[in-house]
Structure 1
Amino acid sequence: MKNTEAEAPPARRPRKILDGGFLVLLGFTLAGGIAVFLTRGGGRVADIAAETLGFVAVLSPKIAAGIFIAATLPMCLPREKVGRLVGRESGWRGLAVATACGAALPGGPMMTFPLAAGLGTAGADMGAVVAFISGWSLLGLNRTLIWEFSFLPADLVWTRYLLSLPAPLLLGLTARAMMKRRMA
């Protein structure tokens, strides 16, 4: 474990509550609510609001746990080792490691995105984080083994998987190139 007493925690970046993404979502939400109100009435809007608040109540502890992981992961992992394994100078090997870790990770976005954010803060570069998320999204072994092989013909699953295999590596390499260009 990292000696957190000897090192200062990373500087916090201020986060806006009302950013552009939130305003876009708010706009769509209001437009949807108005459309439902006009077509189905206020009772249906109230039902949807109650269902949504129930869903938020169930989801909030998972999101809080994910945020806690993202905040504590950089303190638990030695930055120099993470940097060597999946940092800017780790090359194709780092992208392959990030892709494989993403593919092996079970769970949904409430686990994946906080982990990706935590890895980025702990020393992984943008390319490795993109490869990690893409590996989870495109190559998730849990989903492939449990869902795809259960419902789809095996040749279709293998074809999809093999065609998707290079994508996280190429996306990670592209992200690295974009970051290098931005820094130049």
Structure 2
Amino acid sequence: MRNTAADPPPEPRRRRIVDGGFLVLLSLTLVSGGLVLLTRGPLRVWEITQETFGFLLLLSPKIVAGVFIAATLPLVLPGKEIGRWIGAESGLRGLVLATVAGAAIPGGPMMTFPLAAGFGMAGADIGTMLAFVTGWSLLSLNRTLIWEFSFLPHDLVWTRYLLSLPFPVLVGLGARALRGRVPA
């Protein structure tokens, strides 16, 4: 556990812009663009390009804010408290707390993933980070209340929700077991 008040910030990892993941995405993009060019023509490729860059302009501020949150969260949260509440020693309570937080947090992946990363840098363990993300993914109250109950039969929504309830905690326990940290 780091003492963020006394310890200097860690050296940032060197990240490569062009890596294997980027090359796979670039290849898929070029192949898809080529297929659209052959089947729909250059005008459609241009329209898709404009739509994509417009969407990127809308999405960029959210991504920047999410990354900023991830970078600053460890500096403003007390590491000892984070470790006690959602760290490896938090036990089942930490997994349940992370699940509830994940279910309650509004917003999409631009907020959720940076928050999970920020919690990890502040002292949360892999189990609670995965319970948080899985809770958001499976149990999002925002999505369930606004979208699912609006469009789907209520018994279907309740059945899905109740069946999904244990999974974030189970994922967290599984992650801890893989890392050798099963709570008592």
Whether the TM-score (by the shorter chain) exceeds 0.5 is: yes
Q: Offset at 1:4?
A: 5.6
Unaligned runs of 5+ in 2: none
Alignment of 1:97-136 (within 5 A): 97-136=97-136
Give runs of aligned pairs for residues 23-62 of structure 1, distance below 5 A.
23-62=23-62
Size of the aligned set, in residue pairs, is 179
TM-score by length of 1: 0.93
RMSD: 1.4
Aligned residue identity for 1:152 = L
Question: 96-105 vs 13-22, which deviates more?
Answer: 13-22
Q: Aligned pair in 2 of structure 1 residues 4, 125: CA closer, same or farther (>3 Å)?
A: closer
Partner of 1:16: 16
Structure 1: which amino acid aligns with 2:37? F
Q: 1:4 to 1:176 in 2, by over 3 A?
A: closer
Structure 1: runs of 5 or more not aligned: none
Percent of paired sites with the same residue: 67
The answer to whether the 8 Å contact 2:139/2:161 transfers is: yes
- CA separation in 1, counterparts of 2:137 and 2:5? 37
* Residues 99 and 131 in structure 2, CA contact (< 8 A), matched pair in contact too: yes
**Residue type at the aligned position of 1:144:** T
Q: Residues 111-160 of structure 1, C-alpha deviation per residue, up to 9 Å, x if partnerless?
A: 10110110011100011010000000000011111111111111111100
Which portions of structure 1, spanning 4 or more consecutive aligned residues, are displaced by more than 2 angstroms? 3-7
Map 1:154-173 onto structure 2 (within 5 A): 154-173=154-173
TM-score, normalization by structure 2: 0.93
Equivalent-residue separation in structure 1 for 2:13 and 2:179 (angstroms): 19
Query: For residues 157 and 91 of structure 1, what CA distance do their matches in structure 2 show?
Result: 30
CA–CA separation in structure 2 for the residues paired with 1:14 and 1:175:
27
